[in-house]
Structure 1
């Protein structure tokens, strides 16, 4: 028994007229008659009888139609849900992120996505950059907002935000009033440095900047969280190389341009292009569109 024959019977039962039913189904009357005859053969009794006024359901036809209406509704609902899942309008997405993403990338992205796709359940997890890439590779994460560290053959990476590296200082630090600073002038400063286990790329970059300027930095704190770094700077515990977006919500910290250097901090999205569910693809595309709409300079070199 084919579902389409049951649908034909439902329309016939509603119209009780072969001509109107055939027109509604966009088929010819002979084809509709053949479908009804096929269904009657499978059931083993007449389901519809013609009369001078058109047609009417037999008792068997009324019972079959009443019992199959729920089946047809269930099938229609299942098909609709499948189509919505295929378009990424329902489902689940797990997105990992580095802590730097919470300043100006992740919150507006999640707000916009939940407003556009309210039936998609999004779970976010803060992890280290290396763990994020491994999570994507293992299928534990659909997307990861992370640094470029560790992307490889299985994982594709696209940049979302690229900022010039500066020096974050407390407003109480005399450097706060300087128009810019040179790394070589920072030898006497106390530095706050990311631990190598947490952020190896930033740890190496920051030490290299000091070494290239000819000095070993005095380190007042080792941190594994950008939020902790900014809070320590606000309390004048030390200075640190930083992106300006990290300090937007911290009035007591200012980022000064670095004179004579051209280093950038980049955050992007990592994913497996061949194994990306529809809902995750919608989130990825939204993230890329939001990155493109940033003011000029927000993503230099990202395209």
Structure 2
């Protein structure tokens, strides 16, 4: 290496470069160069130091870029809680769009009820939840388009022969309903429909998932009132009928903590 040319490439004076080299050698306690007139040649220690230094620079560059990508929410992790009906279309569609934009973000899914998701949001176990529930203080939220309710009946039930069923025809039926902790908005909507029809269900079996509700209906354990989107899960032995003259609809709501500053969460919210 020619010292003068090296100094010119670094845009510093030759004496300053020489002084910097000497200072580095003093700090390391080794000779990095063989000095031959105005030329320098790396010693064995210098060659090893150069290789390690170049590797360190590459690692620093990679770390810098990784940190910048994390700050933009392009890499990292996010935990999404959801209710069973949300797994039918909302969650798959959301994940497809999100992963197209941010393929290197690791997404973890946790299926649970409304109350459990709110608790998990407050504790930081999940970053965002999808629930049949109203937002509490401290939550940011995004409401989805509401949908109508339908009645799930055993296929041999007398009411299954009708094109639609009125709630007023159900006072003697055993109801299979979501618990308040599983889906408070859905439970409230059903109980409101019954109250408007002049009765309260006498027999109620509480469940936490749509799949369980449909299974119990198929087993003739009772009838259930569910979001219309359950038709994609329709199983043998179950008939769905619209509710006659009903205006009540229910909708899922995305919830997340207002003070959650995760850039990954911000990107997911943009995809909602």
TM-score (norm 1): 0.71
Q: Residue 127 of structure 2 corresponds to which residue in structure 1?
A: 142
Provide the rounded CA distance (Å) in 2 between the counterparts of 1:188 and 1:206: 15
- C-alpha deviation, 1:113, in angstroms: 4.2
Q: Residue 36 of structure 2 corresponds to which residue in structure 1?
A: none
Describe the superposition over 1:233-287 as per-residue Cα deviations: whole angstroms up to 9, x where unpaired: 233332222111123121443432223321112112111243232223333333x
Q: Secondary structure at the match of 1:181?
A: coil
Provide the rounded CA distance (Å) in 1 between the counterparts of 2:95 and 2:172: 42
Q: Residue 157 of structure 1 corresponds to which residue in structure 2?
A: 141
Q: 1:34 to 1:267 in 2, by over 3 A?
A: farther
Provide the rounded CA distance (Å) in 2 between the counterparts of 1:137 and 1:243: 27
Q: Residue 99 of structure 1 corresponds to which residue in structure 2?
A: 84
Larger deviation: 105-114 or 118-127? 105-114
2:56 to 59, 68, 71: 71
Q: Residue 232 of structure 2 corresponds to which residue in structure 1?
A: 248
Provide the rounded CA distance (Å) in 2 between the counterparts of 1:269 and 1:193: 22
Matched, 1:175 2:145: no
Provide the rounded CA distance (Å) in 2 between the counterparts of 1:34 and 1:211: 93
- C-alpha deviation, 1:111, in angstroms: 5.0
Q: For the aligned residues, what is the CA RMSD?
A: 3.6
Provide the rounded CA distance (Å) in 1 between the counterparts of 2:155 and 2:16: 82
Q: 1:39 to 1:166 in 2, by over 3 A?
A: farther
Provide the rounded CA distance (Å) in 1 between the counterparts of 2:93 and 2:172: 39
Matched, 1:276 2:257: no
Provide the rounded CA distance (Å) in 2 between the counterparts of 1:37 and 1:273: 57
When the two structures are aligned, how many residues end up with a matched partner?
263
Describe the superposition over 1:129-168 as per-residue Cα deviations: whole angstroms up to 9, x where unpaired: 122122212222111111233x233211102342122222
Matched, 1:257 2:242: yes
Q: Residue 43 of structure 1 corresponds to which residue in structure 2?
A: 24
Q: Residue 85 of structure 1 corresponds to which residue in structure 2?
A: 70
Q: Residue 25 of structure 1 corresponds to which residue in structure 2?
A: none
2:173 to 180, 183, 189: 189
TM-score (norm 2): 0.78
Q: Which runs of 5+ in 2 are unaligned?
A: 34-38
Provide the rounded CA distance (Å) in 2 between the counterparts of 1:69 and 1:163: 60
